[in-house]
């Protein structure tokens, strides 16, 4: 593999010593664009940091050195075309040979301009867009009410304001949390304090505590409980049980909606694998030690005796580690349907648990015969028999800790400082995130349809959805047409693969109902938030969310609920869910550099088109291929097709495992990232085929004399401009299922013949290796 990939194991070249094969007077071109934007479009400010004297000097140069304009293509003269042309060129490093390192060629300028802030470990185009989104939402959340707006807007504004009010939060201290602990019967580690409740092992009621934590506070412990669409009857809901999360500790709002969902980029505080590694992997002993100390410090801050806290938390982390190990020993192996009586195995009374937890609106209530989909029968069976032999004090300490750890972000600065000490060890960030950013993020996560409505009213155009649907149609058609020439998938399987592609549901922009004031207000009618009760606002939200989800058990499935349960419109990401075979493209992603209605189609297909292809391909990657068109986990391909897929996937694994991050000189984990790599490679091919096969000749951008093919690949590559600290490089290698940005560019382009042809890369060069790994083509 090493020989065939030529120099793929070499570190990314970040130097400027390679002579370009594409001569360009980029300063003159940039000045031309700058002048055109300034004069023709009357732009009063330019976002790039160019000194006034430099501008004047370059304008003089421009007069004598106008860049040539090809006569065979029109030039796009919209404001967005000028803005994007400036961005394309300023992001590049044209002193690098594109065939030697296309990431540096496409992103060298962007990387030079960006440094990693102290509260982060990497920056990227995505993080820049997310920062911009936070800025926009901050303005919306702080805006005074206006006539005719939905009344539910006050909820998100009050919650945001309560989060910003640190004076009130600090004054309340730990009392909001200790009051909750007292109401639950006390946390054993706190002893005789009111929040300890003089806990008594003989009166411990496992099912009652579990029901209160899950039903009222939304905490998923021991077994993950949910209600989902019944795969056998898409109009009904059914109870489900599966493995729990081990994400330690919580750093904000838990993104439960992302469970089982593939995301385009990693969600920073959503790494279930990291939690298991901290608990079980010896190479994470420092993080585990920090986690133990974190638990002790939180318990002591709540009033525990330090000696007692040390002993109790030591037992707690051993309990949690044993449970995590059971999930590793008994991974997902298919779904069975049990009754509540059967799943409890006469150890846990699941019927009583649900009767205590379900809202009164669930009518009829549940009995021993209530069906439940068991997604993890091996784990649940083994953990049930294991837990019956565990000490009640340890069980209670663990169960309450799961709530405490999720509520720490909503307490005062004493607790936030303790949390930050832990994050220094795990997240490697030197300073905490600015408070207002935390407040915006939490409000957007919790009240995602209110913030989504605010965002789309202000920053989203209606025709974007229809234009994106056209791209979806063309990319999906391109994927299906590729099946005709696919030489490894058995003919009998090509039909069912095409059927699954056709069956994929697509949600774009926002759900229509949020534009109706009455419907939006009705959604949040039972939820309140005040401007001085940040902790209590979160408690109310948790109960509203948990009880609302459980109440669906006897309700009909609502249109587009499933896809929009992934996330709201104000999210810079894209998602695919195999269990419902659906794709979500939120409104906040549909902006430059991904999409703009005034840009040539090669920009849009190189942007959102590839993302759509990426999400479609997830339906057929190493995990998506295990689910049929209806979301059932089953074997639906012939064995020969499966074997051929695994052989081609292994090529991808080997290729990406050869890539090295120069910040730490460590190789990527190609096995860990294979699903995302397969999706990147497939999405790039599908969108390129859709673009070149459906779109008439497009205008050039001002000052850029590239072919449409070159612009397509440049557009794709500049999505992934990114800079890492050494800690960020380690984090992406250890914990992310996505390859880092540099290799999302290099890996997919090395495998793409059309790219090599577009940039005339010699056979055997770094960007055009002899061996090309291809799965979907």
Domain positions in the chain: 157-445
Produce one character per residue of 5-39: b if its CB has 16 or more CB atoms within 10 Å, e if not: bbebeeebbbeeebebeeebebebbbbbbbbbbbe
The angle, 0 to 180 degrees and rounded to 10, between the axes of the packed helices 285-301 and 272-280 is: 100
What does the pLDDT look like over 409-424, one tens digit per residue?
A: 999 999 999 999 998 8
Q: Is 723 helix (H, G, I), strand (E, B) or coil?
A: strand
Higher pLDDT, 432 or 370: 370
Half-sphere exposure at residue 710, Cβ-oriented, CA atoms within 13 angstroms: 17
Strands (E), 33-155: 122-124
What does the pLDDT look like over 134-191, one tens digit per residue?
A: 999 999 999 999 999 999 999 999 999 999 999 999 999 999 999 999 999 999 999 9
What letter would DSSP give residue 487? Answer: S
Q: Mean pLDDT, to the nearest integer, of 502-523?
A: 97
Has residue 398 got a pLDDT over 70? yes
- Given pLDDT bands bounded at 50, 70 and 90, which one contains residue 249? low
Tokens of 17: 């010593």
How far are the Cα atoms of 253, 627, 646, 752, 754 from residue 656, in angstroms, in the given order?
33, 25, 15, 15, 20
Cα(590)–Cα(466) distance, rounded to whole angstroms?
12
Beta pairing partners, 122: 724
Cα(246)–Cα(221) distance, rounded to whole angstroms?
9
Strand pairing category for 505-509 and 582-586: parallel
- Give pLDDT, residue 700: 96
Q: Mean pLDDT, to the nearest integer, of 218-243?
A: 91
- Given pLDDT bands bounded at 50, 70 and 90, which one contains residue 539? very high
Which of 253, 391, 237 minimizes the C-alpha distance to 314? Answer: 391
- Give pLDDT, residue 258: 61
Q: How close are the terminal C-alpha atoms of the chain, in Å?
A: 21
CATH for 157-445 (1.10.1380.10, 3.40.930.10, 3.30.365.10, 3.30.1330.200): 1.10.1380.10
What does the pLDDT look like over 714-773, one tens digit per residue?
A: 999 999 999 999 999 999 999 899 999 999 999 999 999 999 999 999 999 999 999 999
- Give pLDDT, residue 694: 86
Cα(722)–Cα(661) distance, rounded to whole angstroms?
12
Q: Give me the phi and psi of 460, to 5 degrees please.
A: -135, 135
Is the bond preceding residue 249 a cis peptide, omega within 30 degrees? yes
Q: Which residues are catalytic?
A: 615, 680
Q: Mean pLDDT, to the nearest integer, of 102-118?
A: 97
């Amino acid at each position: 593999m090493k020989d065939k990939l030529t120099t793929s194991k070499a570190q990314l070249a970040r130097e400027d010593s390679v002579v370009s094969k594409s001569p360009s007077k980029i300063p003159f071109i940039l000045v031309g664009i700058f002048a055109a934007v300034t004069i023709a479009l009357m732009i009063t400010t330019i976002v790039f940091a160019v000194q006034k004297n430099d501008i004047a000097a370059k304008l003089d140069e421009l007069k004598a050195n106008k860049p040539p304009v090809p006569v065979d293509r029109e030039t796009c003269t919209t404001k967005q075309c000028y803005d994007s042309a400036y961005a394309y060129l300023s992001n590049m490093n044209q002193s690098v040979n594109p065939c030697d390192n296309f990431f540096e060629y496409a992103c060298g300028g962007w990387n030079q301009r960006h440094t990693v802030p102290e509260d982060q470990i990497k920056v990227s185009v995505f993080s820049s867009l997310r920062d911009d989104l936070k800025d926009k939402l901050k303005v919306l959340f702080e805006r005074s009410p206006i006539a005719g707006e939905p009344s539910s807007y006050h909820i998100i504004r009050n919650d945001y304001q309560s989060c910003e009010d640190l004076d009130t939060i600090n004054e309340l201290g730990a009392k909001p949390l200790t009051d909750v602990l007292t109401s639950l019967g006390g946390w054993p580690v706190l002893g005789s304090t009111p929040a300890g409740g003089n806990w008594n092992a003989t009166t411990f009621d496992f099912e009652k505590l579990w029901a209160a934590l899950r039903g009222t506070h939304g905490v998923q412990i021991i077994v993950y409980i949910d209600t989902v669409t019944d795969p056998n009857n898409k109009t009904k809901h059914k109870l489900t049980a599966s493995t729990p999360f081990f994400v330690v500790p919580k750093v904000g709002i838990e993104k439960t909606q992302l469970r089982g969902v593939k995301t385009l980029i990693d969600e920073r505080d959503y790494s279930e694998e990291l939690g298991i590694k901290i608990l079980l992997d010896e190479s994470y002993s420092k993080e585990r030690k920090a986690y133990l100390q974190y638990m002790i410090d939180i318990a002591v801050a709540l009033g525990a005796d330090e000696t007692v806290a040390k002993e109790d938390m030591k037992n707690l982390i051993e309990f949690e580690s044993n449970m995590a190990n059971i999930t590793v020993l008994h991974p997902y192996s298919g779904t069975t349907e049990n009754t509540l009586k059967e799943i409890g195995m006469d150890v846990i009374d699941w019927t009583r648990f649900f009767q205590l937890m379900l809202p009164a609106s669930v009518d009829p209530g549940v009995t021993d015969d209530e069906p439940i989909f068991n997604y993890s029968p091996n784990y649940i069976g083994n953990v049930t028999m294991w837990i019956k032999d565990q000490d009640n004090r340890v069980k209670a300490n663990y169960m309450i800790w799961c709530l405490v750890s999720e509520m720490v972000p909503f307490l005062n600065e004493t607790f936030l400082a303790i949390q930050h000490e832990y994050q220094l060890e795990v997240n490697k960030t030197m300073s905490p995130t600015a408070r207002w950013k935390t407040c915006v993020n939490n409000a957007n996560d919790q009240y995602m349809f209110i913030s989504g409505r605010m965002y789309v009213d202000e920053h989203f155009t209606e025709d974007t959805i229809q234009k994106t649907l056209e791209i979806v149609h063309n990319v999906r058609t391109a994927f299906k047409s590729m099946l005709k020439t696919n030489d490894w998938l058995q003919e009998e399987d090509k039909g069912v693969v095409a059927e699954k592609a056709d069956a994929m549901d697509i949600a774009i922009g926002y759900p229509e109902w949020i534009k109706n004031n009455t419907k939006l207000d009705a959604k949040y009618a039972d939820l309140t938030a005040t401007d001085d009760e940040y902790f209590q606002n979160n408690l109310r939200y948790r109960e509203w969310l948990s009880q609302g989800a459980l109440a669906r058990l006897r309700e009909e499935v609502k249109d587009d609920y499933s896809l929009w349960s992934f996330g709201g419109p104000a999210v810079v990401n894209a998602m695919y869910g195999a269990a419902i075979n659906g794709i979500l493209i939120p409104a906040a992603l549909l902006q430059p550099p991904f999409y703009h209605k005034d840009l040539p189609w090669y920009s849009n297909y190189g942007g959102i088109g590839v993302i759509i292809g990426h999400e479609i391909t997830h339906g057929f990657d190493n995990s998506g291929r295990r689910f049929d068109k209806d979301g059932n986990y089953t074997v639906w391909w012939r064995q020969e097709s499966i074997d051929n897929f695994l052989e081609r996937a292994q090529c991808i694994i080997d290729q990406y495992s050869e890539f090295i991050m120069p910040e730490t000189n460590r190789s990527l984990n190609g096995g860990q990232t294979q699903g995302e790599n397969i999706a990147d490679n497939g999405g790039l091919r599908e969108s390129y085929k859709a673009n070149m096969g459906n779109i008439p000749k497009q205008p050039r951008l001002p000052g850029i004399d590239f072919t449409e093919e070159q612009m397509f690949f440049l557009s794709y590559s500049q999505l992934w401009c990114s800079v890492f600290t050494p800690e960020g490089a380690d984090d992406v290698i250890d914990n992310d299922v996505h390859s880092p940005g540099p290799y999302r560019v290099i890996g997919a382009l090395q495998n793409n013949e059309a790219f090599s042809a577009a940039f005339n890369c010699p056979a055997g060069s770094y960007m055009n290796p002899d061996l090309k790994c291809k799965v979907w083509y």
